[in-house]
């Protein structure tokens, strides 16, 4: 696995970021460095932003190899950890702009849910947005992106490595539309 010095520096800074630490009921307990939260198996807050174009296709992007979780996996949502002192809504707007270069769009909140895997325990807030603006990818976190139909994503789930947490967010979003 080859990681650029720029990606390595970004990863180190990311690991030191102070993020929201919560309990199983999403009650705020304080803030901890991201790496400590992960290493201790504690619960953090996270946002997932499903970015659609006007044709109804979803932006899917590949994570860089320097990511602590799911390096090189395909991700169906922009997003990330909620910073200390930040609301879910503030985090969603920040993450969408940082990762994909999209700002000034309406973010529609859908729901919160708890995601629990041994290496990834999160309270998640799901948002969606629509934009046809050109993407500006954050090179330290996103190596490529494309828009795909939901049917194509469903067909690719068995053959491509997708982030399980963002797939859970997409599944919950899709279920809410039925």
> Which DSSP letter does residue 166 get?
H
Q: Concatenate the DSSP letters of all residues of 85-137 into one string.
A: T--HHHHHHHHHHHHH---S-PPEEEEEEEEEETTEEEEEEEEEEE--SPP--
Measured distance CA(8)–CA(108) in Å, rounded? 33
Vertex 133, ends 136 and 153: CA angle to 5°?
Answer: 80
In angstroms, the CA 139 to CA 128 distance is 22
Q: Is 57 annotated as a binding residue?
A: no
Whole-number Å distance between alpha carbons of 35 and 12: 9
Could you tell me which residues are beta bridge partners of residue 26? none
Residue 98 assigned ligand-binding role: no
Binding residues for Mg(2+): 95, 99
Which residues are documented as binding site? 95, 99
């Amino acid at each position: 696995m080859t990681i650029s010095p720029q990606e390595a520096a970004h990863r180190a800074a990311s690991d030191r970021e102070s993020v929201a630490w919560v309990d199983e009921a999403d009650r705020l307990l304080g803030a901890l460095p991201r790496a400590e939260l992960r290493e201790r198996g504690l619960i953090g807050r996270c946002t997932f932003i499903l970015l659609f174009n006007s044709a109804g296709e979803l932006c899917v992007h590949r994570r860089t190899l320097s990511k602590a979780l799911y390096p090189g996996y395909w991700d169906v949502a922009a997003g990330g950890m909620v910073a200390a002192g930040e609301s879910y809504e503030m985090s969603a707007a920040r993450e969408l702009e940082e990762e994909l270069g999209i700002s000034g769009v309406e973010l529609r909140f859908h729901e919160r849910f708890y995601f629990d895997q041994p290496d990834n325990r999160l309270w998640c807030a799901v948002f969606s947005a629509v934009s046809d603006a050109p993407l500006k990818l954050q090179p330290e976190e996103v190596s490529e992106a494309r828009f795909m139909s939901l049917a194509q994503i469903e067909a690719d789930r068995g053959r491509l490595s997708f982030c399980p947490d963002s797939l859970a967010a997409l599944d919950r979003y899709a279920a809410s539309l039925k």
